[in-house]
Amino acid sequence: MSETRLSRWYFGGLASAGAACCTHPLDLLKVHLQTQQEGKLSILRLTLKIVEEQGVVALYNGLSASLLRQLTYSTTRFGIYEVTKQAIAPSGENIPFYQRVGMASLAGAVGGLVGTPADMVNVRMQNDIKLPAESRRNYRHAFDGLIRVYREEGTQRLFSGASTATGRAVLMTVGQLSFYDQVKMLLLRAGFSDNLVTHFLSSLTAGAVATTLTQPLDVLKTRAMNAKPGEFASMWHLIKYTAKLGPLGFFKGYVPAFVRLGPHTILTFVFLEQLRKNFGISPSL
């Protein structure tokens, strides 16, 4: 029987960054759909509009911020989850599901807070191309965005939407990490091998659960981060504004969110498993 290797704490961040390079256009389209109040354009029409007006490269607008977000947010949440999991069970196995959920909740809360500044700049850079030329922020890259927000709007603005981002990160991490591990464990016990098929089925399930859990908070987070200073007096004001669209307003962009999050989750765990198998550490170390 071959030795099962364990992930290093930073593998999740690297895997998420790699997945972001592939799925960034879908993330950009999701942001555009969530921030249009009238909701007239479909995902196909929106894609064609962006390509016709800005070119194909515009679909990768904000990629630097997306990568920075994954290297802060995902590295933190995957790292905390993995270290905690291995502390409870050196092999990372036979952990009750409720403990997996608890570990994922803690990891998501910390990761969401750490990743908020990069996430806010990411949303702004992705949404910039749909604004009139005179209203665009025109951040050159993620670090330029962080510096300009700090200088022009203050430190507090860097953490705009932190409450919804943190809440979303908790649900996201529970949906992705704890469900991935649980489904993978059940499949292995059912006779599946630790291979790409198992990783695909586990991550597909995790992506579906994560999308369903996080979509309402994701809509609120995106709107809060993209808002102008003083546009919303409170989170309750933002909720009422979004509610004008009806109950489905909180699930605006659900299809592109799943289309984006599903492949992103699958790629993240496929990359993570390959990193673990090829560069992981032995449980005996």
Q: The CATH number of the domain where 206 resides is what?
A: 1.50.40.10
Whether 2 shows a pLDDT value over 60: the answer reads: no
Whether 81 shows a pLDDT value over 50: the answer reads: yes
Place of tokens 């989850």: 81
Q: Helical H runs in the chain?
A: 11-35, 43-54, 63-69, 75-88, 97-127, 142-153, 155-158, 162-173, 179-189, 196-226, 235-243, 254-279
Q: Averaged over 32-46, what is the pLDDT?
A: 70
Query: Is 169 part of any domain?
Result: yes
Q: What is the pLDDT of residue 1?
A: 38
Exposed, middle or buried, 228 (CB in 10 Å: 0-12/13-18/19+)? exposed
Query: Is 253 part of any domain?
Result: yes
Q: Which of 164, 157, 65, 156 is nearest to 112 (CA)?
A: 164
Query: Is 6 part of any domain?
Result: no
Specify the number of domains making up the chain: 1
Whether 79 shows a pLDDT value over 60: the answer reads: yes
Would you give the DSSP letter of residue 46? H
Backbone angles phi, psi at 112, to 5 degrees: -60, -40
Query: Is 49 part of any domain?
Result: yes
Whole domain around residue 202: which residue ranges? 11-279
pTM of the full structure = 0.81
Whether 42 shows a pLDDT value over 80: the answer reads: no
Query: Is 91 part of any domain?
Result: yes
Q: Which of 162, 163, 179, 170 is nearest to 107 (CA)?
A: 170
| Token reading at 110 | 């910390």
- Average pLDDT over the chain reads 86
pLDDT tens profile 240-258? 877 877 777 777 767 777 8
Whether 36 shows a pLDDT value over 70: the answer reads: no
Query: Is 65 part of any domain?
Result: yes
Query: Is 264 part of any domain?
Result: yes
Query: Is 285 part of any domain?
Result: no
Give 271's contacts (C-beta < 8 A, 6+ positions apart). 14, 15, 18, 19
| Size of the chain, expressed as the number of residues it contains | 285
Q: Averaged over 172-197, what is the pLDDT?
A: 95
Whether 227 shows a pLDDT value over 60: the answer reads: yes
